[in-house]
Structure 1
Amino acid sequence: MEENKEFLMKASELFLENGAKTLTMDDISRSFGISKKTLYVKYKNKEELIEAVLHFKLEEIITRLRYLETQIENAVERMFCRDEQIDNVADSNNSILIKQLIKYYPAIFNKHMREFSEKFSEVMIHNIEKGRSQGYYRTNFDAEVYAKIFFQLIMSLESSPFIDVSSIDKNNYKHETMNLYMNAITTEKGKEILKKINY
């Protein structure tokens, strides 16, 4: 199990550096010092390996999100806790890997993003439930829909046909998106916490 984790960790680095299309099974087998035949025993084709790598990276991110959720008791404060790993996820939306996945492996990319959305939404729904129990979030909205809206807003900046990304500050975009979302879901009690965080 640990051996497979190390393999996927290194394979994910190779894909991030080189892209999904550019990196070949020959390149991967050479990097690991194994024969292509041995590699094909582990994964029947490159598509299967790409899916395994994406799933591995997703689990890493979701594990981190769940850990942070347990570390910060106040639900509102948790939403404003910056985490480098999570920031990197949103920023990686413009990486060579993602660009090549969209172009050459759209079915794999779409499946991955749906899975990412589902798992990310679960974490967000947990935060909403916690915030409601603390009196910080309203109860009269659909938690699942709002979680998905937030995910869509955060993840779609680079691929938006409506926004010129060269003319917008990404950090400011993320901050304003967070404020939009939080102002939409917080009670007056929650908004008091928001004021302390934003000033």
Structure 2
Amino acid sequence: MDTSKKIANKAYALFSRYGIRTISMDDIASELRMSKKTIYQFYSNKDSLVESFIDTAIDENIFRCKILIAKSDDAIIELYFLLVYILELYNGLNPAIVYDLEKNHELAYGKFKDHKVLFIHKTVKANIERGVKTGLYRNDFDIDVITRFFLESLTIISNPTVFPLFNNTIKATNELLACLISGIVTTMGTDVVNAYKNQRDIMFLSNYEEVPFWDH
């Protein structure tokens, strides 16, 4: 692994675990057992490492969502996993990190905001439009409003002051996402949701990280 990537990976791990504000360039250098001078050869300041941190989180989110969409032929299960991936992004960028980005790292915060507006919102909205066309979702609601509602609901779910971490289990997450999805499905969509619920190795009762649904 080249030095630049090694530095970025260590910064990512430290920012994710301890937050951005508490981690200094000295901390990163110490963890890597290298001098700050070496780090500055690749990253001019902490801001540039924070931008790298956000870029990595966003790129991973886009990659996973695009693979999901390419392999999915069912709007409901696609929406479920889109929400899972977005929720994991929000969990990784917890409220304290987002607050610090907004206050102290303008460019990185701008990238995060743009990702939410230009990719996440657009992707979830496209799924809902697809589900409406295929008869799995109702057609009696404002799609843009519901898309925003879903994304803000994920913000609440990922907030540890609302849902403490010890309650944020796979089962609890599945139940919350199932409630969101069930609110927009048609009778045909309800049958699909119930079918997934009854299949132990797929969707709601599975550990979605161990085996992707399309491999079943």
TM-score by length of structure 1 reads 0.73
| Equivalent residues in 2 for 1:45-194, closer than 5 Å | 45-81=45-81, 88-92=88-92, 99=96, 102=99, 104-107=100-103, 108=105, 111=110, 113-118=112-117, 119-159=119-159, 163=162, 165-166=163-164, 169-171=167-169, 173-194=172-193
- Pick closer, same or farther for the CA change 1:122–1:22 going to 2, 3 Å: same
Tell me which moved more, 136-145 or 57-66.
136-145
Distance 2:85 2:128 in 1: 22
Aligned-residue Cα RMSD (Å) equals: 3.5
Query: Does structure 1 retain, via aligned residues, the 8 Å contact 2:137–2:189?
Result: yes
Distance 2:164 2:151 in 1: 21
Question: What letter matches 2:139 in structure 1?
Answer: T
CA distances 1:118-174 after superposition (whole Å, capped 9, x unpaired): 22222212322332332212334333332222121122235376x4x3498334553
Distance 2:15 2:123 in 1: 27
Aligned position for 2:203: none
Q: Give the fraction of aligned pairs with identical amino acids, expressed as a percent.
A: 22
Query: Does structure 1 retain, via aligned residues, the 8 Å contact 2:102–2:109?
Result: yes
- Pick closer, same or farther for the CA change 1:166–1:128 going to 2, 3 Å: closer
| Equivalent residues in 2 for 1:33-48, closer than 5 Å | 35-48=35-48
Query: Does structure 1 retain, via aligned residues, the 8 Å contact 2:79–2:124?
Result: no
CA distances 1:44-64 after superposition (whole Å, capped 9, x unpaired): 321232122112212111210
SS of the aligned residue for 1:185 comes to coil
> Deviation of residue 73 (structure 1)?
0.8
Question: What letter matches 1:169 in structure 2?
Answer: N
Query: Does structure 2 retain, via aligned residues, the 8 Å contact 1:117–1:148?
Result: no
Query: Does structure 1 retain, via aligned residues, the 8 Å contact 2:4–2:42?
Result: no
SS of the aligned residue for 2:141 comes to coil
Gaps of 5+ in 2: 199-216
The one of the two structures with greater contact order (alpha-carbon pairs below 8 A, sep at least 6) is 1
> Deviation of residue 116 (structure 1)?
4.3
Distance 1:166 1:186 in 2: 29
Distance 1:83 1:21 in 2: 28
Distance 1:151 1:83 in 2: 8
TM-score by length of structure 2 reads 0.68
- Pick closer, same or farther for the CA change 1:139–1:99 going to 2, 3 Å: same
> Deviation of residue 19 (structure 1)?
2.8
Question: What letter matches 2:168 in structure 1?
Answer: K
- Give the count of matched residue pairs: 192
Tell me which moved more, 83-92 or 181-190.
83-92
